[in-house]
Structures are given as C-alpha cells and as structure tokens.
Amino acid sequence: MDERVVIHTDGGCTPNPGIGGWGAVLRYGEHVREIRGGEPDTTNNRMELMAAIQALESLKRPCAVRLCTDSQYVRLGVTQWTAQWKRNGWQTSGKQPVKNADLWLRLESATERHDIIWEWVKGHAGVPDNERADQLATQAQSDLKAGLAESV
C-alpha cells in the first residue's frame, strides 16, 4: 500500500453535555491540513465521532488512512461494536437504542471508500498531532463560547 494519510482526531465538551468542539490534523508526507468545528449543545462522544467523520469526509479521493484517536469509544465502536449493532437493528445487547446512531451511520458511510487502520493513542501524552487536535477542539469550543463561529 502507498503511504498513508495520517489523521489525529480529538473532541471534547465543557461541560458534558454542553458546548463542544472537535479538531483533526491530517498529514500526508509534507502536507498538513488542520480542521475544526463545534456545536453549542452536544457531548464529548459526539464530538469525538464528528472529528473522525469530518476528517474522513474532507478527503477528496479514496485513501489509505491511519486514523489515530484518543477515544476508545470511537475506536472500539468502529472496529468491534457497529457490526453487532447493525445485526441488532441499531440496538444494544440490552435492547436499548444505540446512542449517537446518526453519527455512527455517518461514520460508517465516511469509511466506505477508504482503507483505514484505526489506532488508539493515549490522550495528553505528548503525541504532537494528538495534542494539536486537542488544541483545535478547544479553540472551536472557545470560538462558539465567544460567538465567533457557526456550528457545523
């Protein structure tokens, strides 16, 4: 496989639920792109999902991707849980509706055209692009709080 696009994503919400932001750093060789956004009334998990969704949707063509997230919710959801949720009609094993099913479906659609390796990285552990994605998410929250940004 050719060189992969390496994506680091992060999302957050303060308080949770509350004003949320997401950020992503996309790197392909020497090329770097940073994206961010947020929502005024959301949760941490929704922002973690949005970071991955927006990053993958921003790719202009099918790519080999290594997507690094500090969210076990996102990594385990996409690599393990969604197959079972789909078999269960988007219900949990406890017969409850899957939380954030709208975003899980959107993420599933965003992944279809790419060859993705999902990697968990420890948050706030000095991984430069993960730290930068966190800064972008925090900036998106600050922008929303200041009324400077529109929600995505």
Q: What is the pLDDT of residues 51-102, one digit of tens each?
A: 999 999 999 999 999 999 999 999 999 999 999 999 999 999 899 999 999 9
Report the candidate in 77, 25, 67, 68 with the shortest Cα–Cα distance to residue 46.
77
- Euclidean distance between the first and the last CA atom of the chain, given in angstroms as a whole number: 33
Burial 84-111 (b: 16+ CB within 10 A, else e): ebeeeeeeeeeeeebebeebbebbeebb
Q: What residues are labeled active site?
A: 10-11, 48, 70, 124, 134
Q: What is the pLDDT of residue 124?
A: 82
Q: What is the pLDDT of residue 126?
A: 85
Residue 59 has a CB neighbour count (10 Å cut-off) of 17
Is 134 one of the annotated binding-site residues?
yes
Is 48 one of the annotated binding-site residues?
yes
Torsion 66-70-139-102 (CA) sign: positive
Q: What is the pLDDT of residue 125?
A: 84
- 5-25 tens-digit pLDDT: 999 999 999 999 999 999 999
Q: What is the pLDDT of residue 1?
A: 41
Is pLDDT at 149 greater than 70 in this prediction?
A: no
Task: Report the DSSP pairing between strands 115-120 and 64-69.
Answer: parallel
* Residue 63, helix vs strand vs coil: coil
